[in-house]
Structure 1
């Protein structure tokens, strides 16, 4: 089919004229149809050009004058094809009412209007054609059905809509290839692959020609990210648990080995430095070969737990013997801090942070409803989770799930922080800070009892070197405790500031800060729909009445889809 623009001159969106000789051509103009073009003399446009530009009245005039809507032009293309590729919905309805065949084949690729609309990514047109009886299972001249074309051109909303309307995710093309096989060969980036895997396609299906599975095609195409995703999709949960155990065990061993080397009786720091470098090399090999680089995301969590374990051991075996029998309050406080830290870490890690959950039937219903109302886009629909996104929810790439009132994916707990566990996360930070402070206090007491150096008499450097030499293990663990105390206390302060004074999550505050830098207009952190004042913010977050002074708003953030104006006088329920 030859290209070239129409004779009518326009100052608005032009029509699409696809180059169908190429098998995977993409059209640059993906805009919606605009108003009628401003033409020198619209009455001179033939019906093909009038259809491309969406001139409804001109097309009606020519049809009423006797033009057969089923008649293909010189390029074997019908008016319905031109209307479909240019997203002229009113013209499609009119032509069908005048006898146009919804699944008529045309063009060099022998495609239906639905094929043309799918290639172009016009979801509203796909919705309309399916409502009018178009068959998405028909194949074009290249052997592709509509779902294969949607996969090739990575039109995720169209894929979701076709599947929701009953199209089989394992539909085969002329060569017996499923959409999953095409994705691993043609798609750029891992997102299309992740999207398809949400629909549970068959991982063991083979094509008719090469007898390859999707994994074979991924390997043959050199698509390493697709290989990893396919292996993960079929991986055993037991293997993951073993990997996690190895990360934690290696972290515990590594931390102990560092302290052991530092505590050696040798005074040669050159020797100790060489041993530490050797240890680091051995551990890196161990992690790379047995744990795997992809599991390193769990390393901060393993480091935190290992730190807490060795901090506890240091307190009970180094510091506790130095405390007097009368100082019962100190002992109780330290035990209380440790128990609170472990409990709230577990609660933060194990509690559902607010994952947006729907059944497969509900997902399909939502997809159809959003598509048919023109709302199936990335602002309202998560193509990874196949769910409608509530306000303040974010899709977490680490957890591969949408989280309600998302705050962050915590590096240290290895879990998302959202509406379900944000409260526990704050208490975890508080008890971690308390535990670190008590360990630093125990360190100072230990140094004063066991180390002969005096800060005022010997000076800072001599005091530092002598205390480190006095007990390298205690100095090492105290530095770890100092690190955790600093970041936990600072982050707790930031969290409380966001909650009390801004009414925002960490993710929302960072987005506003980015907007403030890039926007020409002033962006305020204080003036948002979620900031209701310090006391009301506290009452809403902790769901407490503050001794009857405030009434907390009851909002289900997993189902809140519309922006609202909160009121202090009445509760706001989910829409």
Structure 2
């Protein structure tokens, strides 16, 4: 989403905002048909005035449109009544609101303008006009003068409905933070969430309204449809997904007795049919006693499943039978069982556990293989102690990186609303400073993670191996995890070579590449299988280790910051090296700060709480480039 004032609604289905009387078609200043004379056609913004423009013969409407404050004051002081509407009942305050003339809004109100005066073809207030056009600064000014949020226009909409229909996200946030009811019905009984689900195809603003606890069980007056019904009828799969996540009832019936699934079949939408059927099945399973008891052990069951799958693959490969047909049949049966289990029992949450479960299952069989097969050939402490240290360090740092809070930005409901109000009234309610998903003021170097659905301080990346984010709280632990995983892989490679040398009668120089490969595979398929698993994990962990070390030591940036900065520099084509950033203090100082090295007082690392840091000055005296401020 783009958080910009004046952002026009991109959806073409609801048809609101056309033919609204004076100047209300696309934010134009004048009457319909005056665009060429009064606005810039590309930006639809008022053309800037020059000092040569003669304002002395302007009437007060034109002066208001252009924001000529002194001319307006001159006319008002000469006796013009600011309450006097034109022939279509449009007041000066309406004109100031639609053109985002905040100074004039304040001036007219100080001179007695009626703040909630209805006017125009749609019988709208100045607040309605400002909301339609996305003028947040004008909305803020009007609400400071106690504009009525509950008034409806000629179409039956109040301010929150208009903000939703025109997708002005900052205004939605500000209205709700100022006390607007998130479930305010229009004349048809439709709540803002219903309008968003029905008329705005996409996840927003439905997802945003749900952040403010919009009701998913409310029904409209006419059809008795819930927001989920409206999303299904409009084919709005994204909105339906978030409404279902919020707990919407898939069995709710409208006035005709139709459920959302019935409507999905009527509109013939396979995606929604599959989504609703799957959710209904998952909820039916969750209602059963056995599934409720197993829910708390979900990860343990997935881990046990992965351990069994890896064992089955190695066991079948290691069978003494020479019949490849038998082995192939067993493999086919095994993968059929895996497919059945994953399709029947593994929802999206369980699937997120899979990489972590596979990693831990692999480590388990690495441990078993080393102490059962490799230990007899490597009994010396010089081999056993480093391997044990590597395994222990791996498990410790993995557990810490998994269980440690990465730096989630948390706030109470009241704090979130106050954040919106403070930033909006300061003119800073924009995406770089405010998270529209968490409704919090974003600290520097933070980013919203959509997998975790939370903002993370000094966000590096979301790791599938820990099923969580890597940020300021657990970044050091994650570095230790990939380091010891790479080290453990090195020891396993060494143990595998020793095992092949001792137990596999083959010679590379005599047998050649193919003969050597077939001999070591047939010698012990289990060892070869474990070797392949270790090779896969060691490859990605070593590459990730080098990448992390480069970002930490040579750039002083996180992976996310570097990627975002590269994109922005590519677009702007600015002659700037990526190493020239305010967080890069030199290789040695970067390492000291990241690992918090003290060495009995020899080093003094900078300690920064990035969950509360909104100014880079505590870390560096360099000015922050605009590209990094938005990271």
Q: TM-score, normalization: structure 2?
A: 0.81
User: Of residues 521, 536, 540 in structure 2, which corresponds to 1:483?
Assistant: 536
What SS does the corresponding residue of 1:459 show, helix, strand or coil? helix
**Aligned match of 2:227:** 214
Does 1:473 find its partner at 2:539?
no
Say if 1:367 and 1:439 are closer, same or farther in 2 by CA, change over 3 A.
same
C-alpha contact 2:390 2:488 (8 A) present in aligned 1:
yes
Say if 1:42 and 1:278 are closer, same or farther in 2 by CA, change over 3 A.
farther
Within-5 A mapping of 1:102-501: 102-234=115-247, 244=299, 247-269=302-324, 272-273=327-328, 275-276=330-331, 279-292=334-347, 295-324=350-379, 327-501=380-554
C-alpha contact 1:36 1:54 (8 A) present in aligned 2:
no
In structure 2, how many angstroms separate the alpha carbons of the residues matched to 1:387 and 1:517? Answer: 29
CA drift at 1:369: 1.0
Say if 1:549 and 1:502 are closer, same or farther in 2 by CA, change over 3 A.
farther
C-alpha contact 2:458 2:610 (8 A) present in aligned 1:
yes
The CA deviation string for residues 448-474 of structure 1, in whole angstroms up to 9 with x for no partner, is 222111223322221111101111111
CA drift at 1:245: 5.1
In structure 1, how many angstroms separate the alpha carbons of the residues matched to 2:168 and 2:296? Answer: 36
In structure 2, how many angstroms separate the alpha carbons of the residues matched to 1:410 and 1:466? Answer: 38
User: Of residues 88, 110, 116 in structure 2, which corresponds to 1:97?
Assistant: 110
How well do the aligned residues superpose, as a CA RMSD in angstroms? 2.9
CA drift at 1:383: 0.5
C-alpha contact 1:170 1:178 (8 A) present in aligned 2:
yes
Say if 1:31 and 1:540 are closer, same or farther in 2 by CA, change over 3 A.
farther
In structure 1, how many angstroms separate the alpha carbons of the residues matched to 2:158 and 2:296? Answer: 41
In structure 2, how many angstroms separate the alpha carbons of the residues matched to 1:62 and 1:518? Answer: 48
What SS does the corresponding residue of 1:416 show, helix, strand or coil? strand
C-alpha contact 2:446 2:458 (8 A) present in aligned 1:
yes
CA drift at 1:17: 5.6
**Aligned match of 1:67:** 80
What SS does the corresponding residue of 1:409 show, helix, strand or coil? strand
User: Of residues 576, 580, 593 in structure 2, which corresponds to 1:523?
Assistant: 576
In structure 2, how many angstroms separate the alpha carbons of the residues matched to 1:389 and 1:297? Answer: 27
C-alpha contact 2:21 2:122 (8 A) present in aligned 1:
no
In structure 2, how many angstroms separate the alpha carbons of the residues matched to 1:285 and 1:507? Answer: 37
What SS does the corresponding residue of 1:267 show, helix, strand or coil? coil
In structure 2, how many angstroms separate the alpha carbons of the residues matched to 1:29 and 1:402? Answer: 35
CA drift at 1:516: 4.4
Deviates further, 280-289 or 387-396? 280-289
Say if 1:122 and 1:29 are closer, same or farther in 2 by CA, change over 3 A.
farther
Deviates further, 465-474 or 291-300? 291-300
Deviates further, 268-277 or 506-515? 268-277
**Aligned match of 1:46:** 59
Deviates further, 311-320 or 349-358? 311-320
**Aligned match of 1:572:** none
In structure 2, how many angstroms separate the alpha carbons of the residues matched to 1:2 and 1:383? Answer: 30
In structure 1, how many angstroms separate the alpha carbons of the residues matched to 2:31 and 2:332? Answer: 65
User: Of residues 29, 35, 38 in structure 2, which corresponds to 1:15?
Assistant: 29
Say if 1:278 and 1:104 are closer, same or farther in 2 by CA, change over 3 A.
same
Unaligned 5+ segments in structure 1 are 7-12, 20-26, 569-575
CA drift at 1:80: 0.8
CA drift at 1:426: 0.8
Say if 1:495 and 1:88 are closer, same or farther in 2 by CA, change over 3 A.
same
C-alpha contact 2:406 2:472 (8 A) present in aligned 1:
yes
CA drift at 1:274: 5.9
C-alpha contact 2:21 2:120 (8 A) present in aligned 1:
no
In structure 1, how many angstroms separate the alpha carbons of the residues matched to 2:406 and 2:496? Answer: 36
Unaligned 5+ segments in structure 2 are 1-18, 34-39, 248-282, 622-631
What SS does the corresponding residue of 2:550 show, helix, strand or coil? helix
In structure 2, how many angstroms separate the alpha carbons of the residues matched to 1:82 and 1:240? Answer: 59
**Aligned match of 1:24:** none
CA drift at 1:203: 2.4
What SS does the corresponding residue of 1:42 show, helix, strand or coil? coil
**Aligned match of 2:260:** none
In structure 2, how many angstroms separate the alpha carbons of the residues matched to 1:212 and 1:119? Answer: 26
Number of residues of Structure 1 aligned to a counterpart in Structure 2: 553
What SS does the corresponding residue of 2:56 show, helix, strand or coil? helix
Say if 1:30 and 1:396 are closer, same or farther in 2 by CA, change over 3 A.
farther
CA drift at 1:293: 5.3
Q: TM-score, normalization: structure 1?
A: 0.88
C-alpha contact 1:32 1:87 (8 A) present in aligned 2:
no
What SS does the corresponding residue of 2:597 show, helix, strand or coil? coil
CA drift at 1:348: 0.8
In structure 1, how many angstroms separate the alpha carbons of the residues matched to 2:527 and 2:595? Answer: 38
CA drift at 1:296: 3.3
In structure 1, how many angstroms separate the alpha carbons of the residues matched to 2:82 and 2:301? Answer: 69
Deviates further, 475-484 or 143-152? 143-152
C-alpha contact 2:69 2:103 (8 A) present in aligned 1:
yes
CA drift at 1:15: 2.1
Say if 1:108 and 1:277 are closer, same or farther in 2 by CA, change over 3 A.
farther
The CA deviation string for residues 208-230 of structure 1, in whole angstroms up to 9 with x for no partner, is 22222222222233222222222
